[in-house]
Structure 1
Amino acid sequence: MNTSVDLLVNIISATPTAIAVVDLEMKYIAVSQQWIDDYNLKGQKIIGISHYDLFPEIGDEWKAIHADCLKGKAQKNSQDKFVRMNGEVQWLSWDIRPWKDDSGTICGMVMYSEDITKRVVDELRLKRNLDLFNETNEAARIGSWEYDIITGSMFWSSMVKHIYEVEEDFVPDLQTIREFFKDDLNRDLSDSLIAEAINDGKSFDIDLEIITAKGDPLWIRIRGNPHFKDGSCIRISGTIQDIQELKIRSIQLKDSEEKYKSILENSLNAHFLIQPDGYILEANKAALDMFGYTIDEMRALGRTGIMDTDDPNLAAYVKKREQTGSANAELTGIRKNGERFPHEISSVSFVDSNGVQRTSVSMVDITERKKAEENLRLSEAEFRAAFEYSALGMSLMDINGKWIRVNESFCRILGYTNRELMSRTLKEISHPDDRDMDLPLMEEVLKGIKKSYQIEKRFLHKSGAVVWVHQATSVVHDIDYKPSHWTVQIQDITEQKNIESALREERELLRTLIDNIPTGIFIKDLESRKLLVNKAECEFMGAKQPSEILGKDDFELFPLDFARIAIAEDQEVFKSGKSIVNREKIVTWIDGSTRCLLSSKIPLYDNGKITGLLGITYDITKIKEAESALFESEQKYRRIFENIQDVFYQTDQAGIVTEISPSIEKHSGYARDEVIGKPVTDFYFNIEDREQLVETIKANRIVTDFEVRLKTKAGEKKYSSVNAQLIIRNGEVIGTEGSMRDVTERKLQQDSLKSLNHDLNTLNDQKNKLLSVIAHDLRNPIAGCVGLLEVVFMDIDNTSKDELIEYMQMMQKGVLNAHELLEDLLEWARIQFHSVDFIPSKIDDLASDVRHTIKKLAPLAEAKNITLNQEIKEGVSIMADKHMLASIIRNLVTNAIKFTNKEGTVLISAKRKGDGYLFSVTDDGIGIPPDDMGKLFSDDTGFTSYGTLGEKGTGMGLGLCRNFVERHGGKIWVESIQGKGSTFYFNIPDQEKLL
C-alpha cells in the first residue's frame, strides 16, 4: 500500500500540469510541481494540510462543489475566475473528480487546474482591438470580404451585411452576390475583375451600383487583392465601402457642369470668347442672333467690326480691362443691318490651361433684361414670402423623389437641418409602415385622375420619434404641361406618441475557445507495454475501459507512424536515463485527423535500475489551431486598417494622438510615427477650431461633418470634415476617436459660389432702387403736367391769359422737377453700375467755370428773388473732373435755393487749403433738423424733404455729391442751425499730386 502511495505521489509530482489529491477531510495527499508553481506555494508545507487552510479565500460556493464531488459528482469548468487573498485575479480551467479504493468507496478527490490567465487576458485584448476596428469601420461604413477559391466559400463581415441590408445569418455566395448588382453591366464588370484577379493576379478598386436586400439603390466601392500559393490563386480578399453620399455629390457636380454648359449655349445673353487682337474665337447662338451674323462672318469682322468704336465709353472700358483684368460698361453694338443698339457688356481676361491670353465677354440687351429681372424679382419675392415664412412645413421635390427645397418649418417639424433633410428622400424619412402610402396616390395624380391628394401619415423624427402629420401633395407642370416637380406640405397634428429607442444589437464577438481536458497519464515497462493508465488517457485513446489498453504496446494501439515515434522515444529514455519534457509532435490519428501532441516521458527506477517510464500526453491541437486563427485574424484586420482612405484616429483624454491610420501621410504629408504621441493642437491651422470641436463633442458626445482647418507638414491650410465621438470605458471618458475627410476642394467651390451670389444680390438691389425712383418719383411730376394740359385743352376757349400763364408756370415747375430728378437719376445710375469714368483735367479758371454752372440755376433763384454770390479768385486753376465738380456745385446750390426763403442769399466760395481747395455753399434758409443730419449723404434714394415753396427733391443729389467728392479723394460735410441756415463744405485735393 505504501508503495502504491509513493508511486502515486511520484506520478502526480512529475505531472507537468497542476494536479492535487486530497482525502475526505480535504487534506493534501499528493500535489504536482505545477500546482505548487501556479498557486505560489513553494516552500510551504502542503501534504497533510487542509486545502481550506492553504486557500482561506475559498467561499461557500466552492465548498459546496467539493462536498458534491466527495459524494460522487465530478465537475469541471473550462474558464472560471478566482480571486486570491491579495486581490490578484487568476483565470482557471479546472476539473475535480472523486477517487475510490479497490472496493469502490470514495476516499477523496482529485483536483486538476490550469492557469489560463494569460490566454484570457490576450482574448480580452483582442476583443478590445476588434471593438476598435469594428467601430472604425462602422464610422466609415467599410466592411471586409474574402472569397476562398478552393472551397468556393464567401465571407462577409457584419458591416458588409449591414451595407447590403441582409440579416446577420445571411450566407453569401458568388451567384447570390451577382443578383445584388443593379444591372448586367455591373455584373459583367464584376465577373471580369474576379477573373483577372484569379488568372492574372490583378488587384482591383472600382465603384459599382447595387440594389440592397431592402430594394434601396446604393453605390459601393469594392477593393480586391488576390493571394497566391504555389503559383495559383487560392483566395481573394478586400473591402466594401458605402460611397452613396460621395457618389451622389460627384454626379451632382457633373450634372452642374453639364447644366452650366447647356445654360450658356441656350442663354438669351450673348457670350463671346475673344483673343487679345480682337479675333472672335467663339460666340453662342444668342450672340449670333443679336448681331445677325454667322460665326464665320463675325470672325472675319473681329471685335471692332461689331462695336461702335466712336462710343465715348469704349476707350475707358478697354483701358480698365487692361489694368484690372475685368471691366463692364454700357456700349453700343452694330448689327449686320447697320442698326446700332445699346447693351451692357462685361468681360474678364484670363490665361487658359495652355498659357494663352483669352477674354470672356458677355452682352445683355438692357431694356429686355430690366423687364425680365423686375418680373423675376416680384415673382421670387412673392414665392419666398409664401414659402419660407409659412407656419406649415413646405417643400419642393423632383419627380424622382429628391428634395429641391424645404422651408424652416419643414425642418423644425422633423428635427433635421436643411442640409440633413436635403440628403434624404420622402421615403427615407417616412415611417416604415407608411412608406408605400404615397406611391399609388402619386400615380393617380400623374395620370390626371386627381389634381392632388391629402393623407395622414407618420414620419420619423431625427430623434427616432414618430411624428404624425397631415400631408398635402400636388404636382407642378412646366409650360408644356409635363410634370416638373411636387409640392409637399405637412402640418404637425400630434404630440410625440412614443419614443422608440433604436438599440443596436451587440455584434457577435470573435472568440476562440480552447477546450482543456485532464492530462493523460500512463506507465510503461521496458518493452513499452502499458502497465497503468488513468481515465483521461482512456478518453484520449478512445477506450471505454483500461483493460482495452493494458498489456499492449504502441504498435497495437496507435497508427504505425506514431507508434514508431513513440517506441523510439521510449528507447531514448531507457538508454539515456534522461527525461523527455514537453516534446511536441504532429501525428495522423486513428480517425484520419491530424493532431498536435505535447508529451513528457520520465524514467522510473527500482534499486538504481530503470524499470520503465512514466508518460504524460496532452492534446494541444485546439490550442495550436486557435493560435493560428488568431494570427491570421490579426493580420487580416491589420491589412484592412492600413489601406483605408479616410484618416481614422484616437486620442487620449489629454488630446495626445494614440493611434492614427497610415492614410494621414497622404492627407497631410506627416508620416504616422510623426503624429502618434503628439498633441492634436500641433496640427490645427486655427486653434479655435479645436476648441469649438471639443465643446461640441463634450455637449453631444458625438459630432458629424464638423468642419476644421488643419495644416499640412508643408504649412498649407486644408479643410477637413470630422466625424468623432467620445471613447467611454466603464462610464468614464478616456479619449476620443473618429475619422477625417479632406473637403478642401468642396470648401473652395462653396466660397466661390457665395462671392458670386453676393455680387448678384448687390446688382439686384441697385436695379431695384433705380426702378423704384423711375416708377414713382419721375412719374408724378410728368403725370401732373399731363393732367394740367388736359384741363387747359378741355376748356381752352374760356381760359384767360392769366390762368393760362398760371398753368404754364405750374407745368414749368413740374418739368423742372422731373428734369432735375432725371439728371440726378442718370448720375446715380452711372455711379452704381460703374459706368462713370473719373477723368481729372486742369481747370484753368475755376471762378469762370463756377459762374457758368450757377448761371443755369438763375431761373430757380429769380423765381424766389434769391441772390447768388460767389467768392472765388479769378484765374485760380485746379486739377479735377470738370463734369463731377460742376455736378457737385449744381446740386448743392439747387438745394440751397430750395431751402432758402424769398429775398434770401446763397454764397459759393472756394479757398486754397493745404494741397487742395475747400469749397462751401452757404444759405440763410430754414436749416436742417438734427434728426435728419445723418440721412443726408446716404445712397438710399428714399429720403427727401420739401423746400420753402413746397419744392420736392429727388433724394439722390447729396448721395451723388458724396460719391463724386470721394472719387476725388475728398470729404463732404454740413454745418446747420435750424432757422438760420446751412453751410455745406467739401474739399478737393490737388489731383496732380494724386496721379
Structure 2
Amino acid sequence: MKRPSKPLSWLPHGQKSHGLKFILTGKEEKYKSLVENSIHAFFLTITDGTILETNNAASVMFGYTAAEFKTLHRSDFIDHNDPELAKALELRKQTGFAMLEATGIRKNGERFPVEITSTIFMDTDGVEKSSTMVSDISERKQAISAMQLSNERYNLVVKATNNLVWDWDLESGDIYRSGNSLAAVYGHSANDSICSIDRWKEYLHPQDKDRINNLLEQYIHSPSETSFHLEYRFRREDGSYAFIQDKGYIIRNRQGKVIRMIGAAEDISERKKTAMAIEESEQRYKMFVQQSTEGIWRIELDKAIHIHTPLDGLIKYCYKNAYIAECNDTFAKMYGFEKASEVIGMPLHKIMPEDNPDNIGYLVRFFNNGFKVENEVSYETDKDGNQVILLNNMVGIVEGDYIKRAWGTQRNITEQKKAEEALAESENRLRTIIQTDPECIKLVNREGMILEMNPAGLAMIEAESAEQVIGKNACQLVLPQYQEEFRKMMQYVFEGNEGKMNFRIRGLKGRELCMETHCVPFRNAAGEISAMLCVTRDITEKVLLENSLNEERKIRHRQLTEAVITGQEKERTQLGEELHDNINQILASTKLYLECTLKGDKPRTDLINESKLLVEKAMSEIRKLSKTLLPPSLGEVGLLQALNELADLIKQTNELSVLIHWNNVNENEVPGKLKLTIFRIIQEQMNNVIKHAEAKHVAISIERQNNLLTVSVKDDGKGFEAELKRNGVGLRNIGSRAEVNNGVVNIYSKPGAGCELVVQFPC
C-alpha cells in the first residue's frame, strides 16, 4: 500500500483510519486541547525516532519532562529488543499505520506493558513525521491474566471438584451446568427444572430471594467487578433446603457489559451447620462471659517467654510485659470501671501490685505448678487505689515451650475476707471474754461429757487443769439429790429448748457450792444440736445473803407487828383515858345537874342551861377524839387542807406555832394511800413534839424535787440523842408506815438543838 502524501491526524485508541486530512486552520487549537487532555501519552516524532513534541500524559506515564523527552530517542523508553517492534515499524513504513503491544520503560527503570498506535503523515513542509499514541495496558494485562487463570481454574474445577460448575448466559437467560454433581449439590435429578435464571430463582428460600436478586443486579451493573460470591438456601426436590455457596467470574464484552457469569456451586450445608453451631457456641460463650458473676479474663504477653526461664525472670517479665487482652464487664467492675473496654490493654502491674508478697507467691505457685492454679488469693488495686481481694483460677497457654498467654476467672472476696477477719476478731474477742469471764462457761455433749470449760469454771470446781475435767461426766460434780433433775434439764435442752436450774455441786477437793446455770442448745454449721452451752455462776454467797435477808425480814416483820400492836394499845389507852378523865366527867356532871333539877318542884333554868353547855362540850370532845382516830377524808378536803385543820386544832389546845410549807406538789399526782401515810406520819410526829419536845415553833414542809417527795417536821424543842431514841414506839410507827410506801426515814437531833424528821418517798 502506498504511503499517504497528505498530513494525517491522530485518532483515538482502537480506531483505524487513514488518509484523513489534517487541517490546521481553525482546528489546530481543538487538536492541541484533545492531545493535552488525553489520558494516553502522545508523541510527535520523526520517523527515525527523534521526538519533537509530547503531551502531559507522556510525562506522567514515563516520568520525563517535555524537555527531557526532546533529548531522548524512542529506544530510551520503548524496549527495542522486542522483535515485534521491528515488525510493527516495518508495517508502518509500508502502510502508514501500525498498532502493537510492547514494553515501556519509565525513567526509574520500571518496565510495564503498553499498546502503541502510530500513523505516518507528511506535514505542510513535506517532512515525514509520525503521530504516536501510547497507552498503559497494565490493568488490562492483569485482567487478561486473571481471565486466563480463571479459565484454567474452571477447567481444573470441572475435572477435579465435586462442585457443580455452571455458565449463565445473561442474554438468553439459560444456565448450563456441567458435571455429575447436580443431585449432590442442588438436590435435583435433572437440570431442566432449573435451566433458566427465572426457574432457578423460584427455588430460592423466600428469606434469601430479595437479597440474592439485589446482589445479582449489583454484580451485573457493576463497572469493574470481575468475580462474585453468593450464599443462599436452595430448595431441593424433596422440599428441604440446602445451603449453597456460589463463586465465580464475570465475563464482559468490549463495551464492559456483563454477558456471562461462570461459577461453581457447592453444598455447604454441613459447613454452615458447623459454623452455626460454632456461632451459637460463641454466642453462648459471650453470653456466659458477660452474664457471669465471676470476672473472666485473658492476659497476653507482648512476646512469648521460654518456660525454662529462671523463676525470678518469669515473674519480672510478666509484670513488665503482661497486659489485659480480654475480659468481661464483671471483671472491669471489680476494679471500679463500668465496661471491659476501659480495662483492655491495661498492664498487669497497674492492678496487681508487685510489692505485695502474697501476689508474688500467687505467681510462684502458678509457674511451679505447671502453669495452673486454683483458688489463689491476690491483693489488687482498683482505679481509686482501694484494695480488692480476689480469689483466682488461672491456666497458662504453652506453645512449643513458650508461654504466651493465660486465661482465668476471679471472684471478689473483699467483703468475705473482711467478714472472715471480723469473724476471727469476734471469735478472739469472744474467746477472750470466755477466758476472762468470772462465771463458769462450758460445753457438754449429749452424754453429759464436758467438752470445754473456761478457767473460771475450773476454779469453781477446784480443778488445776482442763485435763482433769475434759471428758468427765458433769453429773459427777452434781450432788446426788440434784442429778436426776440435771439429766432432765439436759434432755430438755437437747430437744431445742433453754434450760435453767439451781443446784449444789461438790468440787474435786470437796468444797460444796450453790450453783445457778442457764443452758442453751449449741448448733453446728449444719444447724444440728451438737452440744449444750452452759453458763453457770456461783450463788453460794447470794443464797447465804438471801437466807440472812429472810431472817432479817422475819425480825423486821415481828418488830412491825409489835409496833402495830403497841400503837393500837396506845391509841386504846389514850381513848380510854380521854373517855374516862374528860368526857365521862362531863357527862357525870350533866347527869348530876339534871337529877337536881328533877328533884325540885320547879325546874331550875340555870342547871338546865349548864347541862346543855356540858353536853355540847362532851360532843366537842368526842368530835376531836374521833378526828384523831379516824383517817381524814383526803379525797374530799385534800392533804394540805387536812394538815391546816390539824394545825388549827393543835393551836387551840397548845401554845405552839405551826407553819406549813408546800412546794412544787400536785396533789392529783400523789396516790391516796401515800397522802394518808404522810398525814399519819406528821400527826404522829406532832404528838411526839407536844408530849416531849417542849417546843414553841414547828415547821412542816412537803416538797417535790428530782422524783422524790420529801416530808419534813422540824421543831425548836429541847432535842435528844437520835441514836438513843430510835426504838421508841412513835418512831417505830413512823418507820413502819414509811417502809410500806418504800420511804426512807432520817432523824436529825441533838440535845438543846431541836429535832427534824425527814421522810423521802419515790414518786
Please report the TM-score for the alignment, with normalisation by the length of structure 1: 0.23
Greater Cα radius of gyration, structure 1 or 2: 2
Please report the TM-score for the alignment, with normalisation by the length of structure 2: 0.29
